[in-house]
Amino acid sequence: MRMYDLIEKKKCGGILTKEEIDFMIRGYTHGDIPDYQMSAMTMAICFQGMTPQETGDLTLAMRDSGDTLDLSGIRGIKVDKHSTGGVGDKTSLTLAPLVSSVGVKVAKMSGRGLGHTGGTIDKLESIPGFSTELTMDAFISQVDRIGMAIMGQTAELAPADKKLYALRDVTATVDQMALIASSIMSKKLAAGADAIVLDVKCGSGAFMRDRKGADALAEAMVSIGKHAGKQIWAYITDMDQPLGNAVGNAIEVREAIETLKGKGPEDFRELVLTLGSRMCVFAGVAKDFDSAYALLAEQLRSGKALEQMARFVEAQGGDASYVFDETKLKIAAHTKQLKAERDGYISGIACAEVGMASLALGGGRETKADIIDPEVGIYLYKKTGDAVRAGDMLAELYYNDEKKGAEGLERLAKAYRFGDTAPEKRAIILGEVEG
Ligand code: URA
């Protein structure tokens, strides 16, 4: 087999076989196929597309290019959740303790933030003592014992995707649906869960800006999951404004804990209950979605989900007293306020700008080597659809460095848009794709 012939075949609209895809991914991972041939192939895929069968085969080839986690040592059904990423997305911090409090097993490998979106690992590290560095044995035994664990990614999951993604990034071939779906799903499948719930974000702060793209991505990923024999379900959810009110690190952990206490912003609570209910049905701990929803709402109300969060934090070396009193999590003492300049309605919040404002404060990384400041962040007092009077506080920024604070405020001011009439309200759950 020659890579040249495979490029020629795809260029002319041919369908690659599983053997050809395996050959290509194996060769590329080991360095036998050079970047220039692979970039010709990804460009041909951009023009000719891939069938669902090809996309599934590509995903499995990338999944098998490195380590795959063996979670068989954990009793019960392991359910994973994946979000395509957004601003203020603290979902895993609330969702994992909530669903594991009713018996769903959650073995989660998470990442750090880069660019305008945050990472679960950085957020968790704002809890004093908390360690995200576990051995694989400790990780598996913790999930088996208490129902959940979250660790930083150590295993080399899907190295073919890592190499291919870096190549796509510099050859204008990122935005091809089959390539995006196979990239995300190869890593999810390598992480070893029995069932997967996907949160496909849609809007100005998301990878998929419009509904058509988000639906297509959700459908492509669900199709891959089924191809791999997994239980899978996707929700398309709103990311046209930040999720909840808090954006940052410690400040997001506070909001995640408030939600575990039965409070928290309504959009965030609904998202967590929806994703969680589907996870419960997959794990067999509830007979249907509605009974799962009621069960989880009761776990929030009764404090059982919060107790599970405390168990999880303690198991990973953290100080559980911060869970019972989240205000102990330190937030930067210097504040700046963004005020409305006119009467009217908030007609939109440019989500990516809010993420960039948090980054400017020091809450994120521009390069992998940057060190983040867990204390800085933003609290949005007004969100899309709210009526405001000139002078009302829209948002507050918390910072430790005056120059960064000023820069953050300047960016945040660009995020808010105003109108004279109330905009149509967008639901948090926009749609779903059944597995
Ligand atoms: N995220 C990924 O992991 N891969 C893509 O291709 C796009 C977003």
Distance (angstroms) between ligand 1 centre and the Cα of 289 equals 29
Decide if 295 contacts 102 (C-beta within 8 A).
Answer: yes
Structure confidence at residue 180 as a pLDDT band (50, 70, 90): very high
pLDDT at 46: 97
Q: Is 44 exposed, middle or buried (0-12, 13-18, 19+ CB in 10 A)?
A: buried
Calpha distance 272→277 (Å, rounded): 8
Cα distances from 107 to residues 137, 174, 269, in angstroms, run 12, 29, 22
Q: Is 334 a catalytic residue?
A: no
The CATH class, in words, for 3-49 is mainly alpha
Q: Is 182 a catalytic residue?
A: no
Calpha distance 55→51 (Å, rounded): 6
Decide if 338 contacts 395 (C-beta within 8 A).
Answer: yes
Structure tokens of 90?
A: 């603290």
Q: What's the mean pLDDT when you consider all of the chain? A: 95
* C-alpha dihedral, 286 to 287 to 290 to 296, nearest 10°: 0
Assigned CATH topology for domain 330-419? Aldehyde Oxidoreductase; domain 3 (3.90.1170)
Pocket perturbation via mutation, ligand 1, pick of 163, 167, 184 by most ligand atoms within 8 A of CB: 184
Beta strand spans in 133-172 (E): 148-152
Residue 96 has φ and ψ, to the nearest 5°, of -65, -50
Q: What percent of the chain has pLDDT over 70?
A: 99
Q: In this structure, which residue's CA is closest to atom 1 in ligand 1?
A: 184
pLDDT at position 249 over 80: yes
Give the CATH number of domain 79-326; options: 1.10.10.10, 3.40.1030.10, 3.40.50.1370, 3.40.50.720. 3.40.1030.10
Structure confidence at residue 207 as a pLDDT band (50, 70, 90): confident
Whether this prediction's pTM lies above 0.85 is answered by yes
What single-letter amino acid sits at 50? M
Structure tokens of 396?
A: 């507050």
pLDDT at position 370 over 90: no
Q: What is the DSSP letter of 426?
A: P
pLDDT at 59: 97
Q: What is the mean pLDDT of residues 180-194?
A: 95
Distance (angstroms) between ligand 1 centre and the Cα of 183 equals 5
Q: Is 35 exposed, middle or buried (0-12, 13-18, 19+ CB in 10 A)?
A: middle
Structure tokens of 120?
A: 């679960």
Q: What is the mean pLDDT of residues 336-341?
A: 97
Decide if 216 contacts 177 (C-beta within 8 A).
Answer: yes
Q: Is 227 a catalytic residue?
A: no
Among 18-27, 113-122, 177-186, 352-361, name the one with the lowest average pLDDT: 113-122
162 lines ligand 1 (CB under 6 A): no
Calpha distance 371→262 (Å, rounded): 33
- Domains of the chain by residue range: 3-49, 79-326, 330-419
Decide if 202 contacts 287 (C-beta within 8 A).
Answer: no
pLDDT at 153: 83
Residue with more model confidence, 119 or 106: 106
Q: Beta partners for 50?
A: none
pLDDT at 75: 95
Calpha distance 257→309 (Å, rounded): 8
pLDDT at position 115 over 80: no
Instruction: Identify the CA nearest to 123 among candidates 395, 409, 375.
Output: 375
Work out the number of other CB atoms within 10 angstroms of the CB of residue 366: 11
Structure confidence at residue 128 as a pLDDT band (50, 70, 90): very high
Calpha distance 79→147 (Å, rounded): 11
165 lines ligand 1 (CB under 6 A): yes
What single-letter amino acid sits at 191? A
Structure confidence at residue 85 as a pLDDT band (50, 70, 90): confident
Cα distances from 179 to residues 58, 217, 254, in angstroms, run 9, 10, 36
184 lines ligand 1 (CB under 6 A): yes
pLDDT at position 90 over 80: yes
Decide if 348 contacts 393 (C-beta within 8 A).
Answer: no
Q: What is the mean pLDDT of residues 138-164?
A: 93
Distance (angstroms) between ligand 1 centre and the Cα of 114 equals 13
Decide if 308 contacts 106 (C-beta within 8 A).
Answer: no
Q: How many degrees, rounded to 5, is the angle at CA 187 between CA 41 and CA 131?
A: 140
pLDDT at 61: 98
Question: How big is the chain by its Cα radius of gyration, in Å?
Answer: 22
pLDDT at position 159 over 80: yes
pLDDT digits (tens, 9 = 90+) for 392-409: 999 999 999 999 999 999
pLDDT at 358: 95
Structure confidence at residue 369 as a pLDDT band (50, 70, 90): confident
Q: What percent of the chain has pLDDT over 90?
A: 90
Q: In this structure, which residue's CA is closest to atom 8 in ligand 1?
A: 180
Q: What is the DSSP letter of 79?
A: E
Calpha distance 160→171 (Å, rounded): 16
pLDDT at 154: 77
pLDDT digits (tens, 9 = 90+) for 15-73: 999 999 999 999 999 999 999 999 999 999 999 999 999 999 999 999 999 999 999 99
